[in-house]
Structure 1
Amino acid sequence: MDELESASPAGGGTGSVRPRLEDVAERVGLSTASVSLVLRGVPGPSERTRQRVLKAAAELGYRPDRTASALASRRSRLLGVMVDVHSPFHAELVEHLHTAAEEVGYDLVLSALTRTRDENTAVETLLAFRCEALILLGPVAPASALAALDRKAPVISVGRRIAGADLDVVRTADDDGVGQIVGHLVGLGHRAIAHVDGGKGVIATDRRRGYREAMRHHGLDERISVLRGDNTEAAGEQAGRQLLESGDLPTAVVAYNDQSAIGLVTAFRRAGIDVPGAVSVVGYDDDTLSRLGSFHLTTVSQNAEEQARQAVAAAVERLDRGRTAAREIVLAPTLVVRGTTAPPR
């Protein structure tokens, strides 16, 4: 059986012929080039033409052969995404990345970070799948390593500021986001405001700096209190227990992210401490868990949909339009006030 025959649907027999691009073009009376533009999501054809082509393709049961197209064009049209499987915020980003990629004729390959699978392994998998560009969600590798990777395939760092390397970056202003949190709490009357740290990464550094600067701005230098933590619920619970055991509970706590904040809320409620009656808690990311009625967490939105759209746009500019100069897109974060903050008693 040759390659063309193997492309026919399984079980189709001699009477079942896979629809071709030419069949779609003949149905709508357009050139194959015009039909290809529509099916690849390339800008140009009118909306009326696009709808006609998509309707004809659906009626004929036409499905593009991605492998054949890639071999013919020497392009995979795949964007590789490195994602932390433990992050609800990353899961939301991936959903929006899929939508944004499909709109411009690309698809995604996902490679996961786990407790036993590091960034290097995840990235090598994406390169093995011939991904044309790499969208890395919150990478922790040194800037020099990311710059070296960018010479293999365009790299777009999402969420993390990159200093000292010419890379595309899409992120929110983390220090400003935490500043909004502190301002909100001070406006409610809080003065004893602690921060549960996110660890050694650049994102955690920016949020920690934002907390310190905001506390100083409001004349609360002597009230600055940073507890060790990371990006997990377990770290939030541990920080909550530490605060309870200290006997000096602050009136508000700013967590590194929503997962850490949920851990704090869990620890406080388990000890009979009312949130927000006795202590207010704020997260960061506005992930899906923060919106659940059981938590209804005050947090900061990073606008996942817009970050995803900008990340895909950056990749397309590099791949299809030949842009070589690095770009940094910094989005404004938005405070989302829900049910875990209130004036102190």
Structure 2
Amino acid sequence: MSSDASASSDETIDPGSDTGTPPGEGGRSGQVVEGVDETAAELARSGQERGTLRDVADSLGISSAVALRALRGAEEIKPLMASKVRETAERLHFPLEELSDEADHRGVVAVLVNTMRNTWISDLVRAIRIELAATGRSAVVVPTRRRIPEYPVAADTDAIESLVDLGVDGFLMISDLADMDTVLEATAGRPFVGIGCSKSFIGRFDTVRIDDEVGQGLLVDHLVGLGHREIAHIGGVGAEVARERSEAFRAAMERHGLGESARIEPGDFTEQVGQTAGSMLLRGSKVPTAVTCANDVTAVGLLSAAREAGISVPEELAVAGYGNTSLASSGVSQLTSVDPNSSRLGALAAQFLVERVSGLETPARDVAVAPSIVVRRSSSAGPRPESTKRKRISVD
């Protein structure tokens, strides 16, 4: 069980910049107002009544740490900046009533995860920590996956019950956990919010999801725009989210009239399975020219399979991941990936939980956060002309 500290350790303050004059000041204050208005409009479109600390900071072009210190009245923040931040917070309906003093510690929130290996989780946890810090709360990240002979994958409900006994305020779940009925029973009615989870949980508790229909659509649109028609997907196994993501891929292919050529190779979210599934896709006479994957880890496995098969990326095979993690941006992989807007996901989920802890009683809420696509080298080329493709040897 690992403990996370406050947001200030992640975001340092530059006394010569963010703590001084707000962006656009000095005859150009309209730039700041425009940013706030755009954020307010975006919140309204998504049906959100309240902005997060991240929304306040992004609207002004400052860090969340500076925004928090300004709202707390820190001495190093100039009055003009403090006033602008508070005005923005009020404009975006940020819950100022939940704001705590820096030394005020109100409680702990448990973040439940299936694995610690996925770097996407660290992106989410960072956003969660920053938002919770504004309310004087901290977070503990708890792996809840255990293996026992009777059940290949099961949730560690003993750990969850121990957290309840320790008095945690509530739970944030990243992705889908196994045995959800048992998990919810183990939480003993504590507030519970799902992040990046399946649509199947809508209505059971608050959910903040990635809009996978948009995400897979962005990938397929990008690849089709490069001329690819034989596009495959690795995923659909291991969690309901994987199945939904593969269905979104197929729907995007059908939208382009390519439903018959859409191939889904079963795979989960692990590198090993991604490599195995990739090897299956790349053998035989009918090899796709592009492949999308359930996440970045799977895509890295596919890159390994391509390298072993002697297939160059992107010249002979375009590859795309999902999550825009550090794996995707590394100089080795340079992987095109869908950016799920982890900062938004984590901040919004944390706010939802704090509201529940504070006594909010409304029907379960659901928000699908729109992702974007980050194009890198792995999908920077269209399919080769038939005359230049190397011949494949069929493997029976």
TM-score (structure 2 length as normaliser): 0.66
Determine which of 111, 124, 127 is the counterpart of 2:161. Answer: 124
C-alpha distance in 1 between matches for 2:69 and 2:288: 59
Deviation at 1:335, TM superposition (A): 1.0
Deviations 1:210-250 (A, max 9, x none): 11111111111210211111101101110121123333211
Alpha carbons of 1:205 and 1:216: their partners in 2 closer, same or farther (altered >3 Å)?
Answer: same
Q: Secondary structure at the match of 1:190?
A: coil
The 5-angstrom pairing of residues 94-243 of structure 1 reads 94-114=125-145, 116=147, 118-141=155-178, 144-145=181-182, 148=185, 152-160=189-197, 161-163=199-201, 165-243=203-281
Q: Which residue of 2 aligns with 1:80?
A: 110
Q: Percent identity?
A: 32
Contact 1:195 1:226 survives alignment (8 Å)? yes
Distance in 2 separating the partners of 1:197 and 1:139? 15
Counterpart secondary structure, 2:139:
strand
Partner SS, residue 294 of structure 1: coil
Determine the structure 1 residue equivalent to 2:309.
271
Judged with a 3 Å threshold, the aligned counterparts in structure 2 of structure 1 residues 46 and 200 are, in CA distance, closer, same or farther, namely closer
Instruction: Report the TM-score when normalising by structure 1.
Output: 0.76
What CA deviation, in whole Å up to 9, does each residue of 1:48-96 have, x standing for no partner? 8731499xxxxxxxx9595xxxxxxxxx611110122121111221122
Q: How many angstroms apart in 1 are the aligned matches of 2:161 and 2:71?
A: 42
Q: Single out whichever of 287-296 and 147-156 deviates more from structure 2.
A: 147-156
Task: State the distance in 2 between where 1:49 and 1:312 align.
Answer: 19
From 73, 76, 83, the equivalent of 1:50 is 73
Which of 352, 356, 369 lines up with 1:318 in the alignment? 356
**Which residue pairs with 1:295 in the alignment?**
333
Residue 184 of structure 1, CA deviation: 0.9
Pair 1:256-2:294 in alignment: yes
SS at match of 1:156: strand
| Match for residue 121 of structure 2 among 90, 109, 123 | 90
Partners of 2:157 and 2:211 in 1: CA distance: 27
Letter in 2 for 1:178: Q
What is the correspondence of 1:25-36 to structure 2 with a 5 Å cutoff? none
Match of residue 57 from structure 2: none
Stretches of structure 1 that go unaligned for 5 or more consecutive residues are 1-44, 55-62, 67-75
Following the alignment from structure 2 to structure 1, what is the Cα–Cα distance between the partners of residues 376 and 144? 31
Post-superposition, which runs of at least 4 consecutive aligned residues in structure 1 deviate over 6 A? none
- Give yes or no for contact 1:143–1:165 (8 Å, CA) kept in 2: no
Three-state SS of the structure 2 residue aligned to 1:135 is: strand
1: distance between equivalents of 2:309 and 2:340? 31
RMSD: 2.6
Residues 304 and 119 of structure 1, relative CA distance in 2, 3 Å threshold: farther
C-alpha change, 1:49 and 1:90, in structure 2 (3 Å) is: closer
In 2, the alpha carbon distance for the partners of 1:174 and 1:65 equals 38
**Structure 2 gap segments, 5+ residues each:** 1-67, 78-101, 148-153, 385-396
Residues 226-282 of structure 1: CA distance to partner in whole angstroms, max 9, x if unpaired?
Answer: 111110110111012112333321100111110000110111123221000001011
Q: Report the Cα distance in structure 1 between the residues aligned to 2:253 and 2:286, rounded to whole angstroms.
A: 19
* 3-state SS, counterpart of residue 228 of structure 1: strand
Q: CA–CA distance in 2 between the matches of 1:180 and 1:105?
A: 38
Counterparts in 2 of 1:91 and 1:212: CA distance versus 1, 3 Å: same
